[in-house]
């Protein structure tokens, strides 16, 4: 599921948070296999329950499009080398037990 599709799905979903996450898990598994579940459901869980975030910081982030070594990768300027205004909040850690509670409740 593309990030824009996920965002639209979450915005259009009028159900409770757990129902939205459960539906998203099912869609990810059907569309891309179990490997996509964590990558797509974690941002969905953060969007629906921001208190799940335990560590975050603002950085300048860019998707590399020209380099042969990193083309297509997200590059986070953690050291401020580029001296650009931060344009993204990077989430470094979440409350894993809380995330699992949401997931298990959805799958239960």
33-49 residue pLDDT tens = 444 445 567 887 888 88
- Asked whether residue 11 carries a pLDDT value surpassing 70, the answer given is no
- Asked whether residue 98 carries a pLDDT value surpassing 90, the answer given is no
According to DSSP, the residues that pair with 94 across neighbouring strands are 53
- Asked whether residue 60 carries a pLDDT value surpassing 80, the answer given is yes
- Please identify which residue in the block is written with the tokens 């990768």: 73
Q: What is the mean pLDDT of residues 1-5?
A: 47
Q: Can you list the positions of beta strands (E) in 1-108?
A: 53-63, 74-77, 88-94
């Amino acid at each position: 599921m593309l990030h824009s599709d996920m965002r639209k799905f979450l915005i259009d979903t009028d159900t409770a948070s757990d129902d939205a996450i459960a539906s998203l898990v099912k869609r990810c598994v059907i569309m891309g296999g179990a490997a996509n579940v964590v990558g797509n459901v974690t941002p969905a869980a953060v969007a629906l329950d921001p208190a799940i975030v335990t560590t975050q910081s603002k950085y300048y982030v860019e998707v590399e499009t020209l380099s042969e070594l990193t083309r297509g990768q997200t590059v986070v300027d953690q050291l401020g080398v580029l001296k650009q205004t931060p344009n993204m909040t990077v989430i470094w850690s979440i409350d894993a037990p809380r995330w699992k509670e949401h997931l298990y409740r959805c799958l239960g």
